[in-house]
Amino acid sequence: MKKYLQLAAQIIRHGSLRSHGRDFQKGRMQSLRHLQEFVPQRGAVKAGNSQPKTPNNLIGQLAFIRNAFNSKGGHLSVSGLSYVRIPKSANTSISYAMLIKKYPLLAEQNPDETQINFLTDVNLQTVAEAGSETVFTVVRNPFARLVSVYRDFFENAGSDFLYADYLFGILKPELSFAEFVSKICRIPDRLKDQHFRPQQLFVRPYEQHGKTVVALKLEEPETIDQFLRKHTMTLVHRNKSRDAYRYEHYYTPELLEQVFALYRSDTEKFGYQAHYEALKASLRSASR
């Protein structure tokens, strides 16, 4: 309850009822216009359901909040294999590998990263549709994942800011990393955007339905390659950062503890405790 009150305070102080950002439905419809053969029938409804934007985005915000409390999961399925999608954890690359296995002719279209992500959106299935197939996902060091989100959508934000309308626009592109962390720490996990939502929340619906989810680590590419080869797939790296950087440089000892508290469940569930301890020791040594 405390975080919901903190979120309400943020919305009152920094939010707006006006819609400022992109029309995602319209963008998806335009992006997939020439790729309709790879859009399933139910996905076509999702891709074409574009409503005109209005100055008041209250209805859209309420719809987002309602859906956040109705966890249905989200996976791509083909040939007895299901991939649970987790953004910012090699999602575009894994999704593309799954999509071209499902639609071999898609490779000839050479879709860009935006089209791949939109095609993934419209091909996702719910946890209730998962059968007896092998279910897997790819997870990432949560401390590195959060920096990647910040760099892509805040530090290098363009004119089309992704979070312009998220939760009434409480996130601004000019936020420092420390400010970004402070703000998302006060957002309940269920309402966190998919890019910085705890990874265990993507897996949980499948486990609650009795599914065993194989969690591969992004930091172990050989294991991922072996797993995909076993299922006759090859990983083509897409949407990789073009700029070399060290995620550790974004942290101070205080920030690390905030992020650890935020993603403690991911750190422990997926075995990233050693990464946390190593970064903690490094930062402590550097601050002396």
Q: Which residue has the tokens 């897996």?
A: 203
Can you tell me the distance from the alpha carbon of 54 to that of 59, in angstroms, rounded to the nearest whole number? Answer: 10
β-sheet with 75-78: strand ranges across: 75-78, 81-84, 134-139, 213-217
More confident residue, 161 or 13: 161
CA 243 to chain centre: 20
- Does the pLDDT value for residue 275 go beyond 70? yes
pLDDT at 242: 65
For residue 49, the model assigns a pLDDT of 45
Tell me how far apart the alpha carbons of residues 12 and 15 are, in angstroms, rounded to a whole number.
6
| Nearest alpha-carbon partner for 277 in 88, 140, 143 | 143
Euclidean distance between CA atoms 245 and 187, whole angstroms = 27
What are the DSSP calls for 35-73, one per residue?
A: -GGGS-HHHHHHHH-PPPP-SB-HHHHHHHHHHHTS---
The span from the CA of 11 to the CA of 54, in Å, is 19
- What tens digit of pLDDT does each residue of 106-163 get? 999 999 999 999 999 999 999 989 888 899 999 999 999 999 999 999 998 877 899 9
Q: Where are the domains of the chain?
A: 2-242
Q: Give the C-alpha distances (Å, rounded to integers) separating 139 from 28, 127, 152.
A: 26, 18, 18
- Taking 60 as the threshold, does the pLDDT of residue 50 lie above it? no
CB neighbour list of residue 268: distance below 8 Å, 6 or more residues apart: none
User: Of the ranges 49-63, 117-131, 144-158, 178-192, which one carries the lowest mean pLDDT score?
Assistant: 49-63
**pLDDT beyond 90 at 177:** yes
66-70, 111-115, 152-156, 191-195: least confident range: 66-70
Banded pLDDT at 99 (limits 50, 70, 90):
very high
Return the structure tokens found at 134: 């092998």
Q: What percent of the chain has pLDDT over 90?
A: 66
166, amino acid identity: Y
Tell me the C-alpha distance between 188 and 210, whole Å: 26
Average pLDDT over residues 80-88: 96
Q: Quick one: which of 82, 118, 113 has its CA closest to 98?
A: 82
Residue 57: pLDDT band (50, 70, 90) is low
pLDDT at 34 over 80: yes
- Residue 76 phi, psi (nearest 5): -95, 140
Query: Contact, 156 vs 103, CB < 8 A?
Result: no
pLDDT above 70 as % of the chain: 89
Q: What is the pLDDT of residue 20?
A: 65
* pLDDT beyond 90 at 234: no
> What is the structure's pLDDT at 53?
40
Average pLDDT, the chain: 88
* Rounded Cα gap, residues 168 and 170, in angstroms: 6
Distance, in Å, from the CA atom of 34 to the CA atom of 48, rounded to the nearest integer, reads 13
3-state SS assignment for residue 20: coil
Q: What is the pLDDT of residue 58?
A: 66
Would you state the pLDDT for residue 51?
Answer: 42
CA dihedral defined by 115, 120, 121, 125, rounded to 10 degrees?
160
User: What mean pLDDT comes out for the span 94-109?
Assistant: 96
Helix (H) or strand (E) holding 204: helix 200-208
At residue 54 the predicted structure's pLDDT band, cuts being 50, 70 and 90, is very low
**pLDDT computed for residue 238 by the predictor:** 65
Average pLDDT over residues 98-102: 96
